[in-house]
A and B are shown apart, each in its own frame.
Chain A
Amino acid sequence: DQQVKQNSPSLSVQEGRISILNCDYTNSMFDYFLWYKKYPAEGPTFLISISSIKDKNEDGRFTVFLNKSAKHLSLHIVPSQPGDSAVYFCAASGRGGADGLTFGKGTHLIIQP
């Protein structure tokens, strides 16, 4: 029973273009959403987050959009750079994080030179 879904296992984008990674969730109790980035043989590192009271959060080249009615969020990276090549995990939490984070399966982003 996947409560957080990332339906694209991989995504290839040309350097300098926009990368859009998508995530859907099913649990309406989730009220906080995060994106993590993971390089091979390393642990996931926090990238950006958004609370359910907002619909957009921006941090430099990274913007996360939340559509609560559709239970959908997306991560935009613009412009994409070679160092952005990694696996991106969408995660969600509810109840102030008391249940930990629920992760999606990840999307492998490949930035083509």
Chain B
Amino acid sequence: DTAVSQTPKYLVTQMGNDKSIKCEQNLGHDTMYWYKQDSKKFLKIMFSYNNKELIINETVPNRFSPKSPDKAHLNLHINSLELGDSAVYFCASSQTGIEKLFFGSGTQLSVL
């Protein structure tokens, strides 16, 4: 029973397309995150949501729009995909005030 699940695992698409990555957690956590691991292997935070409210919004192009329909879901929508968006995107969750994050298995996005 996967705690943090994200789909799809692999996503190959053309430049200029719009795509979404879905994330769900069944841990009962109230904070969810999106992290990006780029080609240099850095894991960087993009967004965090607490109880469906945006808490952290790092310097990310506004082509990236997170959406949290409820506290168990945090989806990432990306408009007008660019080559530089190619990376692995990880969803994570935690309980507020507890720094231990639980990660999904990642979505490998390749923009051609």
- Chain A residues in the interface with B (C-beta under 8 A): 32, 34, 36, 41-46, 49, 89, 93, 96-103, 105-106
Contacts and interface: CB of A to CB of B under 8 A. Distances in A.
Nearest to A103: B43
Contact of B99 (A43, A89, A93): A93
Tier of interface size on chain B: 20 to 34
Contact of A42 (B43, B45, B96, B106): B106
Interface of B: 4, 33, 35, 40-45, 48, 55-56, 90, 92, 94, 96-106
Question: Main SS of the interface on chain A?
Answer: mixed
Given A89-B43, A106-B41, A101 B103 contact: no
B83 to A, nearest CB: 22
B56 A97 contact: no
24 contacts: A34-B99, A34-B100, A36-B103, A41-B105, A43-B4, A43-B92, A43-B103, A44-B43, A44-B103, A49-B100, A96-B97, A96-B99, A97-B97, A97-B99, A98-B55, A99-B45, A100-B33, A100-B45, A100-B48, A101-B45, A101-B101, A103-B43, A106-B41, A106-B43
